[in-house]
Every structure is written in structure tokens, then in C-alpha cells.
Structure 1
Amino acid sequence: MSDKHTSSTFDGDLKRLTGRLLEMGGLVEQQIASAMDALDTFDLPLVEQVLEGERRLNTMEVEIDEEVSNVIARRQPAARDLRFLMATSRCVTNLERAGDEASKIAKRIRSLAMNRAGRSVDIAEIKNSGEMALQILRRALDAFARMDTESARQIIRDDVSIDNEFRAFMRKLVTCMMEDPRSISAGLDYLFIAKAIERIGDHATNLAESVVYVVHGTDVRHQPLQRIEGMASDS
């Protein structure tokens, strides 16, 4: 939050919450990156590392939400400050869910590591979409830290690319399973991984939508992209 308040301690509260949110976001980024590395290598110790990190994310979600509630109770904020606190809580929930998706990916990789038939499936689209989801999440966290609505709008546009990769992989996977029934079990694991990546992109997009909400006071969840595009740029 760049706006200054008459109360320096209130400013400190908001900056501390932003810092905690970015810390949690960094951990989620690490979880996703590790899960994608494990997908490349079938590294089971790395899989277990991702699964262990989920507990830390759960703890952080509870801690940050408690801090948000305490600030609201003490400061009784209004207007943009209240929107910021509500958006912070919303973003924390989305980060925790993105971390859950990373854990789901890790569990599927553990299953795939014991199924050699899965090694023959071309997963180029999964790798591409995983990298895109990770980049979108990083950009969404940066946009939230700077309250940059133009970057947020671009993230909302870019999420479509992840959806396109998911659909392309789905078509290829169905063909692969029809041609080789032995690949069906592994194919289902890859399907769940691809869907988890798509959801990570959705959670990152939700963070970007929260930026628009804080700055403009308009809730753009479930709104068409055209409406978001039509909103005024930052002054």
C-alpha cells in the first residue's frame, strides 16, 4: 500500500500484512516450481518436500487471516483500506489453494514414478502451462505489492493461454489413451496434473482481480474481460 495515513502504526500494519502475503506467495511459488521439477525428474524426495510444505502454508493462512481480523477490529478502516484488508484475506485463501494444487501435482507424480508407461506420454503442454502459471503467479504478487491495475489486467488476459494449453493437452491425451490402453492409468494422472495447473492459473488471476477491486472499488470476479478492459487506467 502506497497511501500514507495519519497513523504511522496503521501504515505499519498494512505494510506488515503485505510482507506476510508476499512471503506466503514466495513459498507457493517454490512449491509449484519444485512440483514442476519433480515432474521432469520423478524425484521422490522432492515430491515429499512439496507435500511437507503444505502444512506451513496452512499455518500461514490462519496466521495472516488472524492479523487481518485484528487490524480491522483495532482500526475500523473504511473505503480503500477496508478493501485492501478484505482483498488480502481473499488472496491468502487463493494462495493456500494454489499450494494445495501443487501438493496434488506432487501426489500424482508419486503415482507416475511407479508407472513406467507414463514415461512415453508427451507432456510438452503440461510443462508449458506449468511455467506460464508460475510466471502469472509471480506477476500477480508483484501487481498486488504495487497495486498496479494495468499489470493485473494483463494477467487476466494471459490466463487464457493456460486454458488453451490445457485443452490442447486434453485432445492429445485422449488420442494417446485410445491408441495405447496401457497408458490410460498414467494418462489420468497427467490429466489431474494438467487440471491442477489450470487451477493455479485461476488462483493467480483471482489475485490480479483483487488488485482491480482495491484500486477501483469494483468487484470484477466472474465479470467478462471486456468490462475489466473498459475500466479506467490508474491515474
Structure 2
Amino acid sequence: MKSLNEAITEINSMEMEMIKDVKRLIEITIEELNNKTFDKSIYGEGKVLEEDTNDLEVQIDEKTIGAIARYQPAARDLRFLIGIMHMNKDLERMADLCINILKTAKRIFRDRVNEEIEIVSLIDMGEKVYNMFEIFNHGYIEKDVKKGYIIFGLDDEVDKIKKESIDKIKDKVKENIEYLDLGIENLLISKNYERIADNITNLAESLIYIYRGEDLRHQAVKEMS
């Protein structure tokens, strides 16, 4: 029979694999937008990574619930296991959002093969989101809650880029109504990046909960009530 420490080590290893998959998914969305063409190999890799992420979410949740039931951990170990379950939900959502971006990019580039395509601010948003996730990744590996707090400020920067992109799209539609369809696709991608950034903020909160014991989600609920 495994000890609690062995179970936690196994769960942590699987969580690191899930984080690695989601990191690559975000990277893939940026590659697709940079290429300005539909790449079947990139899209296929994204679908495989999404499936792997879904499988890992189920496996990690099962092992985490099993560890809590079997060992009845206390204090830090219990926080770790609860935090992992929260992180799993956010990572799985992020994988779905990345696939949404790839599907939208597919429509943009497939339907406009011979047109000049301008992707307003999307690559900037993608790179900002990727940077946020990298900070979370290092914070998780290094058990550094300070990196969690850094992420809170970066989320505002993503919101700012989105607002600027909306203003640019409005201006372009005013100049040329034919830009409307592409503008809507731009908005869909920016909305997905914004939601990914929100999920990374949730991950930062889980990081702080695991290693410092502060439950920022509950604090936010109290402030709203």
C-alpha cells in the first residue's frame, strides 16, 4: 500500500504533466496566429493534447479523492489535494478554450486563403497569457506564492489589450463594413484569451492556497456579499 507521501508525489507528477500539456496548447494557439494559415499538424497536435488533458483531469481527480478518503490528511497535505482539484478544473477549461481559439483560427484562415488577413492585437494577448502561465508554472514548481500575486496584476494587462482590440475592430468596421465578419472572429479569440487569463488567475489563487493557506476565492465571495 502506498503512503500518503507517495500518493502526493504521484499526483504532483501527473499535475505537472497536465500543466505541460496546457502550456503547449497556449503556445500552439500563438503559432497558428503567427503563421496566418491553417496548419493541420498544429490543429491535430492541439486536439491530442486536449484529449490528454481531459484524461489526466479524470485520473488526477480519482487519485486525489482516493487519497483524501484513505489517508484523511490534515493541514498542508489536505490543502495540497484540495488545491489540485481546483487547479484541475481550471486547466481543463483552459485546454477547451485553446481548442476554441484553434477552431476560430481555422475558420479565419481556411475561408480567406487569398485575402490579406489582419489579426488585431491577438498575438499580443496570446503572448501575455503565455507569460502569465509561465509565471504560474515556475511558482508552482518553486512553491513561490509571490509569483501568484504577480499574476493578479498581469490579468489587468490582458483586459487592457482586449479593450484596445475592441476599439480597433470598431474603427475598422466603420472604415469597411466587409471587415465585420473577421472582426467578430477576432473578438471570439480575444474573449477566449481573456477567459484563459481568468483561469490563470484562479490557478494563482490555488497556488497561494496550497502553499500559504490563504483562501482568496472565499475572501472574494465575502467581499461581494
Matched, 1:121 2:127: no
Matches within 5 A, 1:50-129: 50-116=46-112, 119-123=116-120, 125-129=121-125
Identical aligned residues as a percent: 28
**Structure-1 residue corresponding to 2:19:** 25
Matched, 1:182 2:158: no
- Deviation readout 1:17-76 (Å, 9 max, x if unpaired): 121111101101111111111112123311232133222211111011111011111110
User: Which residue, 35, 39, 42 being the options, matches 1:44?
Assistant: 39
Give the AA of the match of 1:163.
Answer: D
CA-atom RMSD in angstroms: 2.0
Question: CA distance change for structure 1 residues 98 and 35 in 2, over 3 Å: closer, same or farther?
Answer: same
Give the AA of the match of 2:55.
Answer: T
TM-score scaled by length of structure 2: 0.89
Q: Which SS does the other structure have where 1:201 is aligned? A: helix
User: Which residue, 28, 34, 38 being the options, matches 2:28?
Assistant: 34
Give the AA of the match of 2:58.
Answer: V
Structure 2: segments with no counterpart, 5+ residues: none
Determine the C-alpha separation between the residues in 1 that align with 2:116 and 2:187.
14
**Deviation (angstroms), 1:223:** 5.1
Matched residue count: 217
Determine the C-alpha separation between the residues in 1 that align with 2:151 and 2:103.
28
**Deviation (angstroms), 1:200:** 1.1
Determine the C-alpha separation between the residues in 2 that align with 1:118 and 1:141.
38
Determine the C-alpha separation between the residues in 1 that align with 2:178 and 2:47.
28
Q: Which SS does the other structure have where 1:55 is aligned? A: helix
**Deviation (angstroms), 1:118:** 7.1
User: Which residue, 152, 165, 168 being the options, matches 2:148?
Assistant: 152
User: Which residue, 157, 162, 165 being the options, matches 1:166?
Assistant: 162
Matched, 1:208 2:183: no
TM-score scaled by length of structure 1: 0.86
**Deviation (angstroms), 1:12:** 2.0
Contact 2:29 2:126 in 1 (8 A): no
Contact 1:118 1:187 in 2 (8 A): no
Determine the C-alpha separation between the residues in 2 that align with 1:52 and 1:190.
25
Q: Which SS does the other structure have where 2:217 is aligned? A: coil
**Deviation (angstroms), 1:189:** 0.9
